[in-house]
Structure 1
Amino acid sequence: MTRSNISTLKLTMLAMAGASLITLAACSDEDTSANGIVQPDAAQAGTSDAAGSTVQAEEPAGTDPEAASEAAPAAQTSESSSGQTLTPAAEVPESSGSVDVADLMSEQALPDIVQGDPEAPVTIVEYASMTCGHCADFHENSYPAIKEAYLDTGKAKLIIREFPFDPVSLAAFMMARCAGDDQRRTAMVDVLFDQQSTWATAESPSQELLKIARMTGMGQDEFVACLDNKELQQQIVDVQKKGETEFGVSATPTFFINGAKYSGSMSPENMAAAIEAATPTN
C-alpha cells in the first residue's frame, strides 16, 4: 500500500467514526509573540523545517546513518506484531542528558495521549512540531517499525507532546486535539505528518487544513470554532513552555526514552537500541 493510500485510509476511518476536525482560522495574521510560541534562538539555528522555521535538529552522537549501516547487527532483535524483526544498532546512541521519568510524566496542561500499553516498561516522549521536516521524516521512516516492534507488543509506549514553532504548527495541533477521542487524535497526527508537504508550506495553509478537516467530516464552522478556541491554544503553548523550561527542549523532534534525551530524527535501529538499553532487566 502506498503512503498516499494509507493517508486516504486513515482519513476515511476518521470520517466513518464521525471525527470532528479542527478549524484553521487560528492561522491568521496573528502576532506569533502574542500566542507565546517559542521561536528558535538564532544562535541555535540549524536546519529548516517544512514551514521555513529554522530549528535545531542535530543528529545525536552515534547516530550517523553510514556508521549505523556498517555496524555489525546487535545480538538481540525485537519481533514485531507482523512477525518481522527489527535489529537494534550495535551501539546505543549517546544521549544528550537525562531527566527524571517521574518529573517527565508529571501533569501537563493537556492530557497525554498514550500509544501502546500504558503499563509498558519503556516510556518514549516525543516533543514535535507539526511543521518540522525532521519530525515528519521520523514518522515516515522510523515510527512504523517502532510501532510494530515495541508499541504493538507492549514493550514500550509513545507519547507525542506539542512543541509548535510557528502558528501553522499550532493550528495543526489544535486540529488534532479537536479530532475526537485518543484514537482519532492519533490518526489525525499521522495524516498531518503524512501530508505535511501539501499544507505546511502552502500559500494558504488554512485552506489546505480545512480540506483535510472536511475529508474527515468536520464542517467549516467546527473547524473555525476549534482554531478560535483560546483556551486550547494556551494549553498547547503551556505544554511547549513546560518542555522548554523544565526539560530543556529546544529542538524538534526531541525524544526522551525512559528519561534519556535524544535530539533529532532517529533511525529505527538507533531508537531500538535506545529502547533495549532502557528496558529493565528484571
Structure 2
Amino acid sequence: MSRKTRSAKPYAIGAGVVAAAGLLAFASYTATKPGDRDASGAAAPAASAPASAAAGQEGVYPELERLARRDAKDGLATGRADAPVVLIEYADFKCGYCGKFARDTEPVLIEKYVKKGVLRIEWRNFPIFGEESEGAARAAWAAGRQGRFWEFHRAAYAEDAKEKGFGEERLTALAREAGVPDIARFTRDLDSAEAKRAVTRDQEEGYGLGATSTPSFLVNGRAIAGAQPLETFTAAIDAAAAKAGR
C-alpha cells in the first residue's frame, strides 16, 4: 500500500457518509484485520475502529455502498451497471501496489465475476504523488472519453511502466499503445477543465472518506486497504453477492 506523507484535507461528501464510514483508513482494517500482511510479508498491526465504524454490521456500511455511481456511460467502469456487487477502487498510476493489483488480481476478478454479471468495477482517479500523477489521471479520463480507459490502464500499469514516468510525451505514447483513435482529441481532453473537474471530483470523494493511501477499495460498502491477497477480494465479493441473493 502506497501512502502520501503530506496531510490530506478531508472534503465533505455528505454527513451521513462520513459519520457511518469511521473514515476509510479505519474501516478498511475492520474488513482486513489480523492475518493480513504488509508489503514486506510481515503481519500488519491490528487497528481499532472508532465508535462510528463499529456501528457497521460486519464491516459493511450502507452509506458507503451508495457511493457506487452505476452510470452505464461511465468510461472508467467495467461490468453491468445493475450488477449486484460494485467494487470501487481509489488509485494512482504512480502507485506500485496499484499496479500489482491491476496486473495480478483485477484480471482474475474480471474473469471470475465481471464477465458473469456479478461484479462491476468503478475506477476513481486518486492522484496523490504530485504533478505526474495528476497528468496520468487526466490522461486516463481522456482515454475513457474514447472508450479506451481500460487499455490505457493496462498500458500504464504494465511491469516497469511507472519507472518511465508520466510526462507529456509518455502519456501520448501510452494513448497510442492503448489504441486511442483520435490523439488530437485526447490531447485536448487531457488539458481540459472538464478533465480537471472529473479528477477533482474523484479526489474529493476519496479524501472525504479519509483515504490517504493507495490503493483503497469499497466492495458494496465494505472497505479494503491496500493490494490485499486475491482471497480477500473474492471473500468480500462472495459475501456481497450472497447478501444480494446471487
Give the 5 Å matches for 1:225-264: 225-245=188-208, 247-264=209-226
Q: TM-score, normalised by structure 1?
A: 0.60
Task: Measure how far apart 1:155 and its partner are.
Answer: 1.5
Aligned equivalents of 2:120, 2:132: Cα separation in 1: 27
Alignment correspondent of 1:155: 118
Give the 5 Å matches for 1:25-104: 40-42=4-6, 60-61=32-33, 62-64=35-37, 98=61, 100-104=63-67
Alignment correspondent of 1:171: 135
Q: 1:150 to 1:107 in 2, by over 3 A?
A: closer
Q: Given the alignment, which residue of 203, 210, 215 partners 2:172?
A: 210
Which structure has the higher relative contact order (CA within 8 Å, separation 6+)? 1
Question: Alignment identity in percent?
Answer: 24
1:64 corresponds to which letter in structure 2?
A: R
Q: Given the alignment, which residue of 226, 229, 234 partners 1:267?
A: 229
Task: Measure how far apart 1:194 and its partner are.
Answer: 1.6
Which structure: greater helix fraction? 2
Q: Which segments of 5 or more consecutive residues in structure 1 lack a partner in the other structure?
A: 1-38, 45-55, 68-94
1:234 corresponds to which letter in structure 2?
A: R
Q: Which segments of 5 or more consecutive residues in structure 2 lack a partner in the other structure?
A: 9-24, 43-57
Aligned equivalents of 2:172, 2:149: Cα separation in 1: 16
Q: 1:182 to 1:101 in 2, by over 3 A?
A: farther
Residue 75 of structure 2 is aligned to residue 116 of structure 1: no
Task: Measure how far apart 1:162 and its partner are.
Answer: 0.7
Task: Measure how far apart 1:42 and its partner are.
Answer: 4.5
Matched residue pairs, number? 202
Is 1:121–1:280's contact at 8 Å kept on the other side of the alignment?
A: no
Q: 1:97 to 1:218 in 2, by over 3 A?
A: same
Q: TM-score, normalised by structure 2?
A: 0.68
Aligned equivalents of 1:98, 1:64: Cα separation in 2: 24
